[in-house]
Amino acid sequence: MRTTTKSARPSHGFSKFLCGLFAGGGLDVMTTALLTALPPPPPRARVLDFCSGSGTIAAALRAGSGGGALRLHLLDADAVALHAARRNVADARAHVLSDGFEALPRRPRFDWIVSNPPVHNGLQADFRVLRLLVRRAARRLRSGGELFIVVQTYVPLGAMLADQPKLEDVRTLSDDGRFSVWAARKRAQGGGGGEKKAMAGKRKREGSCPVL
């Protein structure tokens, strides 16, 4: 297990909130766990804040990036939350109203996807959005891109991530017994599969040559 510690407390820097938003538009305890565990994003990283709510994760990353000029994209299914996100992270590249990845354009691909996704529907555990995120993340990440998710520790996210053939290096960045922050990386493309394709192409070309 790799553990990352940061001394500075994360902050999104918002001064105004809209009523009725997740955590009242403030910095939720799980979101704080996630932000505290994250490594610094690469300079100019293209980051998707998936289930962004009012934009807390994107804003805190921007505030902590020391002018790293992150290219931020925010996505949420709640129009009011996204309205707040547009105000809170006005310089983001995109604010997308979307159920899961549904309305998100296929390009660009991301260096990072970061999320504090919903795992409840009312009082019932409901992993629909989480499962969707885990299943679809790889095709939205660039090769070598990273996925970071915070969940309550009881959620079997490690097993869900380990089930994804296009993800590797599944690990917990932090676990305090209540909340776990998980990370996984998209496998580099062009490994064994690329070699196989190249060999198949070579055989095909050779097969079509006249035999002298």
Residue 131 as a binder of ligand SAM (CB under 6 A): the answer is no
- Segment near ligand SAM (CB under 6 A), from 37-45, 49-57, 157-165, 179-187? 49-57
CA dihedral 113, 114, 120, 125 (to 10 degrees): 70
Q: Which amino acid is at 18?
A: L
- Segment near ligand SAM (CB under 6 A), from 71-79, 175-183, 188-196, 200-208? 71-79
* Residue pair 160/131 in contact by the 8 Å Cβ criterion: yes
- Segment near ligand SAM (CB under 6 A), from 37-45, 72-80, 151-159, 161-169? 72-80
Residue 126 as a binder of ligand SAM (CB under 6 A): the answer is no
CA distance linking residue 100 with residue 52, whole number of Å: 11
Tell me how crowded residue 205 is: count the other CB atoms within 10 A of its CB. 9
Nearer CB in complex with ligand SAM: 76/146: 76
Contact pick of 52, 88, 174, 180 for ligand SAM (by CB under 6 A): 52
Residues 9-28 that bind ligand SAM (CB under 6 A): 22-23, 28
187 DSSP 8-state letter: P
Residue 81 as a binder of ligand SAM (CB under 6 A): the answer is yes
CA distance linking residue 27 with residue 16, whole number of Å: 13
Shortest approach of ligand SAM to residue 26 CB, angstroms?
8
Residue 59 as a binder of ligand SAM (CB under 6 A): the answer is no
Q: What is the DSSP string of 30-96?
A: HHHHHHHHPPPPPTT-EEEEET-TTTHHHHHHHHHTTT---EEEEEES-HHHHHHHHHHTTT-SEEE
Residues 90-119 that bind ligand SAM (CB under 6 A): 98-100, 116-118
In the complex, the residues that contact ligand SAM under the rule CB under 6 A are 22-23, 28, 31, 51-53, 56-57, 76-78, 81, 98-100, 116-118, 129
